[in-house]
Structure 1
Amino acid sequence: MEHQRGSTIPESLNTHGYININDVFDRVCDKYADAPAFTSFGRTLSYRELHQLSDAFAVYIQKETDLKPGDKIAIQLPNLIQYPVVLFGALKAGLIIVNTNPLYTPREMEHQFNDSGAKALIIYKSMADKAEQVISKTGIKYLFLTQIGDLHPFVKRHLLNAVVKYVKKLEPEFNLPSAIPLRNALIPFVGQKPIPVAVQTADIAVLQYTGGTTGVSKGAVLSHGNLVSNMLQGHKLINQATAGWSETAIAPLPLYHIYAFTISLVIMDCGGHSVLIPNPRDIPGFAKELGKWRMSAFLGLNTLFVALCNNEEFRKLDFSNMKITISGGCALTHAAADEWIRVTGCEIMEGYGLTETSPAISINSPHGIRLGTIGQPLDCTDVQIMDIEGNPVADGQPGELCVKGPQVMVGYWQREAETEECFTADGYFRTGDIAIREADGYLRIVDRAKDMILVSGFNVYPNEVEDVVTTHPEILECAAIGLPDEHSGELVKLVAVAKNPEQPPSPDEIKAWCRERLTAYKVPKVIEFVSELPKTNVGKVLRRKLKETQNQDQDSPSKVA
């Protein structure tokens, strides 16, 4: 008999006998007490300090609020060291985490807080004006405010906070008289221990909301079992890399995003050190920060690899201690992978996953990297490639990637019909991605089913077009979308960013490049050059946004043909 999704952690992986995330946290904090755990803005927390501060937050919740185990607490923070403190403190108190994007608009905040039923919110002070607009329309009872310097020593704390408020003017005026300064919920309680809370493997740990790129965002219900299982699956595979890979892991992706969230657990389980990058879009600032570290691991995605390799200061850095680079979140192009190897000397291990799978389903092994694939399924993960009728297809044939495993979500929060729709009758989660399985089990993602372009009855996958175009020496990045066409149903439009925006290559030159490398119906018919592509804050290109705005004028001169 099958267990309920998210209720078990495979024994073959679980050598420490973990029941929940709190077990993981307690073990690593005891074992690696004096080792560095997280760094942000020059402040490093050891595992001992992280343990003490998270205990303090759990004590505050238990003593000073009426929040009970199972209540929801929204965390809306950038990559500050406060994030792991409040995360693990809330989990110790038995609360359910609602990860919330700091870039959300008030409308998006209101939807997520109400949909999740959040009763508490921890928010960066620079966003407090947004919270003020919506909090009376939600069930949030407790609001905690934090600033960049809150966990720094006295002088630096006041300096950092003053710079943000008075120099950069990043704290709009607000009026929230009942808000609680996070320091007041931490510092007075350091040294105290919370009352232990019984947390079961099947209990909900996180409501992880999807990006909302198609309709209203919905919460994927991820249990403690889901997240610990995926952590152990990732740990087992990544630990095949050279010893010491987790010594200094650069973590530019936001911790509220499931990719970074789970990888941070893998790094912790190894006693590793995560250097958090609050603003990876500031590439010069990012490169300067990297110069302070002998990085051993780098976690990123395609757009970030491209931007960094295009930065002169980054190319000058010392990469002699680099042992692994992991890519996820969006497709890795050959051009980006090749340039990363050339600059850093480190191959990229591309993986694949979704919010609904905690997130990893497959990843390239450190000693078996095959560029252009997403590796083989993780341990205890059953992947099937199915046709539109739900029948398995032969190896080498495209179909929808469907998955079973301990990392697959319980379901969508309060959306039974949508949960049922995304699972097959025999319990496989339907990813919506088109994939091909090779004879030896390696998987290749062809593209998102919804992004596929249908040209005269032929399938065109944007990833393939983009991979070819980014190998052109004058193209920095690009995206392919489908446009309606009265003759062929759809045609391929390419939106590209040139390495030299003042002198982009001609559309005819790009078409000629494609004709040498692609079947005729895949060659873009329309080519437009822009200054930048619209992206999520994580760095995924928003093809949907390109479709919506394809007729609007661009800020920079564009060339269309």
Structure 2
Amino acid sequence: MPRQIPRIDIPQTDLWTTLFDRKEKPFPDSQVIYQDPYSNRHYTYATLKLTTQKFGSGLRTSLSFKKGDVLTLFARNSIDYPAIVWGAHWAGGVVSPANPGYGVRELAHHLRDSGTGVLVTEGGLLGVALQACRQVGIEKSRVLVVGEGEGGDGDGVRGWVEIMEGEVRGERERLDAGRDLGFLVYSSGTTGLPKGVMLTHRNVVSDLFMVNSNEGQILGWKDDRVLSVLPFYHIYGLQCLVHFPAYAGVTTLVMPSFDLKKFCEIIQNHKITYTFVAPPVVLHLAKSPIVSNYDLSSLRMITSGAAPLTKELIHAVHDRLGTEVKQAYGLSETSPVTHMQRKWNKGLGSNGPALPNQICKFMSPDGHEVPPGKEGELWISGPNVFLGYHNNPEATAACKTPDGFFKTGDIGYEDEDGNMYITDRVKELIKYKGFQVAPAELEGILASHEMVADVAVIGVEDLERASEVPLACVVLREGVEGSEEVEREIARWIAERAANHKRLRGGVVFIQEVPKSASGKILRRVLKEEMKKKFKVKAKL
């Protein structure tokens, strides 16, 4: 039977009501919630609430935006991002965040698939946005610009502030939290084309309260300052760095995108105490020489998610900076966070125990639940589990059981204390002569080598063996030159630390950068295509 998980009370309200119609909150209306680290611009709780109301009213009166309409937000992180999201919710709309790295083709697919009615973008992305809009038939008058100057292009495109002139008109749209969508987010597409994930207001509010049950005990609005660098278009950043700060009242400094030097500067200059990141940032903090140029002593804790971290990497950051690194786990389909450590050294290397109000179990390939300590596919049921994939009932049916469990596709196990360890993705397991090899395990071992700055392991076909074999794609540390001797050293490192079937029989290749999604997940299919073009696999071991 699944382990008993604690339960908490969760309001049956939509997100805007949950955040802004609260009967009580511990912090004052004057508390700064979002701050631009490069200027004096900021939003207090009070100005944030008013801006959402004025923008929502403007959407309704200027663009005839109504309940159920979709607003796509195609922009980098900014302190204006949250107000736009909740302004759309105030008017009853659905928000669909889009990756600002999209090209015209990708954005056009997103707009078409989501049924977007209004697009909000920034000046630097306006060219791509307008081309995509032309392809799908969205008029210029329904495109708004946010950012510096906050004005349009003078040719039919307005700044988002232009529709907020005047008083708030009308009342907030009433929503059914359990049925009405709050977000249409798109999965990262690591194993195929991105799919639209339908999240109701109940899904998102439930997960917000689940996260707060853990992080609300760690962070305080009076003493802590959070650095926001995860992309807001991704559900991890959206939940933990957009919704959570507004609920908890914690001041959050917002970076438009990750830059290691600026990241360190902001921590040093603004005495940042906490941040949510993806594993590549943890790797930088452990190994980059740049970090030594800054005083990061205020940074007491980091939460990392999106991919597993090894114990060695966690210890490396703690030894170097004194910063505690704990882990969390989640997926777009679970709104997203399902598991989270509270203390970094309790269940070290795990994702911690399950957050409240869920049922989690690990299943064998033949559909039977496995006992603690044994690996299986993680299945999850709870109020945070998504409604389904947009316009894709086949994909929904394939991953959701009739009794409401979501098949995550992740392989892992639970220890005797309830801490969860994810070992790999079902579709990413390398099958070598009947043995299963988890790329994440080998990556963790390789990342601990002093010559390795970053690494990804993929499976490639070895015709001589008639089997898949592991190939390590390695980014070497600065100052280390790739050579056959270094290849042999890296292969030896694995051979001495892993079972015989996990050896790097596909070899070692040196690359400049590991391709990753914005959330930090390795894009293995992209890497496989690159390797097919550049290399022929040889049996080396």
1:244–1:34 distance in 2 versus 1, CA, 3 Å:
closer
Aligned positions of 1:326-365 closer than 5 A: 326-365=303-342
Match of 1:123 in 2: 121
Which amino acid in structure 2 is aligned with residue 375 of structure 1? Answer: G
Answer yes or no: is 1:373 the counterpart of 2:350.
yes
Match of 1:498 in 2: 476
Match of 1:236 in 2: 213
Answer yes or no: is 1:22 the counterpart of 2:19.
no
Deviations 1:320-368 (A, max 9, x none): 4434311111121334312221233122121111100000111112376
**Which runs of 5 or more residues in structure 1 are unaligned?**
1-9, 152-160, 162-173, 555-559
Answer yes or no: is 1:511 the counterpart of 2:511.
no
Structure 1 distance, partners of 2:219, 2:19, is 24
Q: RMSD between aligned alpha carbons?
A: 2.4
TM-score (norm 1): 0.87
Answer yes or no: is 1:271 the counterpart of 2:268.
no
1:243–1:180 distance in 2 versus 1, CA, 3 Å:
closer
Answer yes or no: is 1:524 the counterpart of 2:520.
no
Give the SS at the match of 2:269: coil
Match of 1:324 in 2: 301
Aligned positions of 1:456-467 closer than 5 A: 456-467=433-444
**Which runs of 5 or more residues in structure 2 are unaligned?**
1-5
1:129–1:57 distance in 2 versus 1, CA, 3 Å:
same
Give the SS at the match of 1:436: strand
Q: Is the CA contact (8 Å cut-off) linking 2:327 and 2:344 kept in structure 1?
A: no
Give the SS at the match of 1:236: helix
Q: Is the CA contact (8 Å cut-off) linking 1:78 and 1:254 kept in structure 2?
A: yes
Match of 1:38 in 2: 34
Structure 1 distance, partners of 2:7, 2:534, is 57
Which amino acid in structure 2 is aligned with residue 13 of structure 1? Answer: D
Deviations 1:277-314 (A, max 9, x none): 1120x222332233221112111011111124444453
Structure 1 distance, partners of 2:187, 2:219, is 34
Structure 1 distance, partners of 2:401, 2:222, is 38
TM-score (norm 2): 0.91
Structure 2 distance, partners of 1:473, 1:483, is 26
1:351–1:76 distance in 2 versus 1, CA, 3 Å:
same
Which amino acid in structure 2 is aligned with residue 465 of structure 1? Answer: L
Give the SS at the match of 1:185: helix
Higher mean alpha-carbon deviation, 505-514 vs 521-530, is at 505-514
Match of 2:267 in 1: 290
Answer yes or no: is 1:197 the counterpart of 2:173.
yes
1:271–1:90 distance in 2 versus 1, CA, 3 Å:
same
Q: Is the CA contact (8 Å cut-off) linking 1:37 and 1:268 kept in structure 2?
A: yes
Q: CA deviation at 1:376?
A: 1.0
Structure 1 distance, partners of 2:54, 2:510, is 53
Q: CA deviation at 1:144?
A: 3.5
1:495–1:239 distance in 2 versus 1, CA, 3 Å:
same
Structure 2 distance, partners of 1:342, 1:245, is 28
1:244–1:134 distance in 2 versus 1, CA, 3 Å:
closer
1:177–1:246 distance in 2 versus 1, CA, 3 Å:
farther
Give the SS at the match of 1:518: coil
Match of 2:98 in 1: 100
1:448–1:274 distance in 2 versus 1, CA, 3 Å:
same
Give the SS at the match of 1:75: strand
Q: Is the CA contact (8 Å cut-off) linking 1:287 and 1:308 kept in structure 2?
A: no
Q: CA deviation at 1:139?
A: 4.9
Match of 1:408 in 2: 385
Match of 1:143 in 2: 142
Q: Is the CA contact (8 Å cut-off) linking 2:431 and 2:468 kept in structure 1?
A: yes
Give the SS at the match of 2:410: strand
Give the SS at the match of 1:506: helix
Higher mean alpha-carbon deviation, 282-291 vs 126-135, is at 282-291
Match of 1:66 in 2: 64
Q: Is the CA contact (8 Å cut-off) linking 1:208 and 1:220 kept in structure 2?
A: yes
Q: Is the CA contact (8 Å cut-off) linking 2:104 and 2:129 kept in structure 1?
A: yes
1:49–1:175 distance in 2 versus 1, CA, 3 Å:
closer
Deviations 1:367-395 (A, max 9, x none): 76322211111101111100112110122
1:553–1:420 distance in 2 versus 1, CA, 3 Å:
closer
Q: Is the CA contact (8 Å cut-off) linking 2:219 and 2:250 kept in structure 1?
A: no
Q: CA deviation at 1:25?
A: 2.3
Identity value in percent? 26
Structure 2 distance, partners of 1:198, 1:501, is 60
Match of 1:430 in 2: 407
Structure 1 distance, partners of 2:441, 2:478, is 23
Give the SS at the match of 1:550: helix
Which amino acid in structure 2 is aligned with residue 121 of structure 1? Answer: L
Q: CA deviation at 1:26?
A: 0.8
Structure 2 distance, partners of 1:435, 1:150, is 49
Q: Is the CA contact (8 Å cut-off) linking 1:245 and 1:296 kept in structure 2?
A: no
Q: Is the CA contact (8 Å cut-off) linking 2:120 and 2:146 kept in structure 1?
A: no
Deviations 1:528-554 (A, max 9, x none): 111211122333221111111114459
Which residue, out of 82, 85, 88, partners 1:87? 85
Structure 2 distance, partners of 1:313, 1:216, is 36
Match of 2:76 in 1: 78
